[in-house]
Amino acid sequence: MSVRCHTKPSPPAARGEATLDGVAADDGIVTLTGYVAGYSVKLAAEKAVTKTFGVKAVAKDIVVKPLTKITDTDIATFAVTALESRYDVPNEKIKLTIKEGLVYLDGEVEWKFQKDAAEKAVSSLLGVKAVINRIELKPSVSTTDVKNKIEAAFRRSADVDARRISVTAHDGTVELWGNVRNWLEKGEAERAAWAAPGVAKVESHLNIVL
């Protein structure tokens, strides 16, 4: 359903602890299974695991099962309010669709933080099972500027060894190459790349070398 809503109730957030049936690890690959009450709880559980030393990848098999019945219309109403409450989300450029608890975000924005802000606004809402963020980035800066800003960000970061990472950029796409010491450094390098103006896509070819 496409959403057009004029009411502004306070959007409730999903709460609850993750109930994991299994956490299996094999050569740095961790598999999570179980049930949680909200999508934001699932994201928090997955994020906590990625920060564990030695983890190279996470298989995300956690299922969201809301504690109470929430209709798509309810989710739509809450989601519109949540998006409109964000100063960093250009609402006029975003289309919101809800289907069986899945929230679809479409549209175009200029900055990655705007795309992320839209997703964050709806991720914690009660009844949301997953967020499919299809918002496209349409930046307008030069490739050279993008590359220079990312490399400068690497040099400023205490968590990233800029000497071990190389950057290539073309048509809004950034590629990262090299080795990092852990999952945290890999994530920090990728976040720094996304934070540069004009970046529409980041392709990470970074290897974790323990």
Domains in the chain, start-ordered, CATH in brackets?
A: 19-64 (no CATH), 72-137 (3.30.300.130), 143-208 (3.30.1340.30)
Is residue 157 within 8 A of residue 170, CB to CB? The reply is no
The confidence score (pLDDT) of residue 2 equals 36
pLDDT digits (tens, 9 = 90+) for 34-58: 888 888 888 887 778 777 777 777 7
The residues near 101 (Cβ < 8 Å, ≥ 6 apart) are: 64, 66, 70, 72, 75, 127, 128, 129, 130
Are 113 and 195 contacting, i.e. CB atoms less than 8 angstroms apart? yes
13, β-bridge pairs: 125
In this prediction, residues 102-121 reach a mean pLDDT of: 92
User: Can you give the length of the chain in residues?
Assistant: 210
Tokens of 38: 């909200």
- Classify 188 as helix, strand or coil: helix
pLDDT of residue 105: 97
Q: How far apart are CA 158 and CA 18, in angstroms?
A: 32
Please give the torsion angle defined by the CA atoms of residues 77, 82, 86 and 92, in that order, rounded to the nearest 10 degrees.
Answer: -30
% of residues, the chain, pLDDT over 70: 86
Could you count the other beta carbons within 10 Å of the beta carbon of residue 155? 10
Is residue 199 predicted with pLDDT exceeding 90? Answer: no
pLDDT the model gives residue 50: 75
Write the CB contacts of 80 (distance below 8 Å, at least 6 apart in sequence): 3, 5, 96
Task: Kindly tell me if the per-residue pLDDT of 191 is higher than 70.
Answer: yes
